[in-house]
Structure 1
């Protein structure tokens, strides 16, 4: 803090400020807020500089900045392993290479596996209430492939209940995001439960939707992984897709005119074939729940998501 005090007191518009791992020497929550306040101060001064951090909570703070831009370390997949490129790219990455670094430095596999388990249980779940979680499970269990009227009514009640809890929120994009997240979770988790029961899969996969904000990029863990994504377009239409290269697909979408700041929801699935199945399921079922799709025609040549057997699911190449 004494060093930060010296920096702040001496900094002018002509200064170059370099701060590595800002506020890491104290309790995380308060350190994050101190760091955010410092960044606001430097932004107001208007100096040139770089501030590095692993305090990812900074990106969710309501900072008042005008000149600050966000950069992340680029990564590549080499022989199935995620490695840094040592190049800065535009956007925010909320995930570090901590597990990969621990493996590289010889930490035992049992410790790393336990750490990964703790990470998933504590940080990778949807931010929904326990009440809504239990209701979503009930809908997933009772909903037929076509979707009964009662099941859709339940889903609507859940979505209305979630909306009711967002008191004071006027952000329509956030509202749409939450509605889409609820619908995607119900539709896809139900299908995964069916596959789990009919094919005797050893472990039931779970749908955990993750948001990629307007200035964010997908985390390194998505490299080489099969995922299903939903793009939230400015015209409130949705685009549903699947890919094994989420970062490349996000960049491709954002390169188009008018889509530079679009947000995405995605979830990881075990394998491209399943990703293709769930993509078509969503394309066919989301319009039935009142959502407008930009690529609804992509589902017309397939039957999946209406009334089929598991064996007749088309496989994408």
Structure 2
């Protein structure tokens, strides 16, 4: 299959001009994921450089993590909505990136045995939710480890010193962002876990722990959380944080990014059981993150409630 597809791709890229319309469905689907992702990325770069019009569809989500040199291409995703207790596609394209599919829901709807679906979900959680940084590209084609950055000819035989310096700067910036994100995530876990432990004593069932999920710039929240109560922290480009809660995370993210200068904002979110708990956790985070020294854009939102303003010393909530 891949031989036939590559033959077709050769014909496309050699004949395409800036006046062409190119339509490619499920690009590089016939080969293994990692190399297929990189071939697909290179093809997209080539078409972008030619300047043609086109649509390229794919489930190779690792393309979004490749350092592509593109000027004209934009990312679109299939819209979803929550109807009658199920997440369903709207069949409309929306701006942004989505790395999750409705594969499990589709399998269930088509009658695949529940035992198979449950086992598939367990395997997914055990493998793809983990940060497997030992691989350059994981099974989803997503890049993890950074290239060598010692600036030597051996590490970068084909790079000029100027380009090596650029690589250094880019990697250092990403590392700083990653450290900042991890610090925020660690603070969220420490602060919220205490509150969830208290609330679990009041509930008939034990509340789940905090499971923060990252939504990077240009990405969308996964379809599986449509209609769920979420608490989120917006990582603004100006280094300030905005804490909020919502039952419509996709809508809130679009509203935030629609404001001037916020287009590249990223988000951390976690799901909680109900809006009441979401409101409590929201105000708790606003007050306690501020106490931890984080800069907040909406600190005033936490001053009109009692949640998170415990009389206990702030040191009891200090992040280790």
**TM-score using structure 1 length:** 0.79
State the shift of 1:219 in Å.
1.4
Q: Which moved more, 1:244-253 or 1:198-207?
A: 198-207
Q: State the 1:33 CA deviation.
A: 1.2
219, 222, 243: which one aligns with 1:219: 222
Alignment of 1:104-123 (within 5 A): 104-123=109-128
Output the CA distance in 2 between the equivalents of 1:301 and 1:127.
43
- Equivalence for 2:279: 276
Is the Cα contact below 8 Å between 1:234 and 1:262 reproduced in 2?
yes
How much has 1:202 moved relative to structure 2? Answer: 4.5
- Partner of residue 290, structure 1: 293
Q: 1:168 to 1:92 in 2, by over 3 A?
A: closer
Matches of 2:121 and 2:198, distance apart in 1: 27
Q: Which blocks of at least 5 consecutive residues in structure 1 are unaligned?
A: 130-166, 310-317
1:95 offset after TM fit, Å? 0.6
Tell me, in whole angstroms, the C-alpha distance in 2 between the residues paired with 1:125 and 1:271. 26
In the alignment, what sits opposite 1:30?
A: 35
Summarize the alignment of residues 109-258 of structure 1 with structure 2, pairs less than 5 Å apart.
109-125=114-130, 168-171=171-174, 172-196=176-200, 198-199=201-202, 202-203=205-206, 205-258=208-261
Q: How does 1:17-96 map to 2 (within 5 A)?
A: 17-96=22-101
* Rounded Cα–Cα distance in structure 1 between residues aligned with 2:133 and 2:196: 20
The total of aligned residue pairs comes to 271
Residues 221-254 of structure 1: per-residue CA shift (max 9 Å, x gap): 1200111101112221111001111011111222
After superposition, the Cα gap between the structure-2 partners of 1:168 and 1:218, relative to the gap in structure 1 and judged at 3 Å, is closer
**Cα distance, 1:74 vs. partner?**
0.7
1:133 alignment counterpart: none
- SS of structure 1 residue aligned to 2:190: helix
Contact 1:195 1:201 in 2 (8 A): no
SS at match of 1:114: helix
Deviations 1:18-68 (A, max 9, x none): 111111111111111111111111111111111100111111111111111
Displacement of 1:125? 4.8
Q: Which of residues 297, 305, 309 in structure 2 aligns to 1:306?
A: 309
Q: Residues 4, 15 of structure 1: CA spacing in aligned structure 2 closer, same or farther, 3 A cutoff? A: same
Structure 1 CA distance for aligned equivalents of residues 79 and 47 of structure 2: 25
Q: Give the Cα–Cα distance (whole angstroms) in 1 for the partners of residues 129 and 302 of structure 2.
A: 30
Asked if structure 2 preserves the Cα contact closer than 8 Å seen for 1:126 and 1:210, the reply is: no
1:62 and 1:254 mapped to 2: Cα distance?
22
Question: Which shifted more, 256-265 or 216-225?
Answer: 256-265
Say whether the 8 Å CA contact 1:126–1:208 is kept in structure 2. no
In 2, Cα distance between the equivalents of 1:30 and 1:92? 21
**Distance in 1 between the 2:311 and 2:280 partners?**
12
Q: Secondary structure at the match of 2:173?
A: coil
Contact 1:20 1:53 survives alignment (8 Å): yes
User: Do the aligned partners of 1:126 and 1:209 also contact (CA within 8 Å) in 2?
Assistant: no
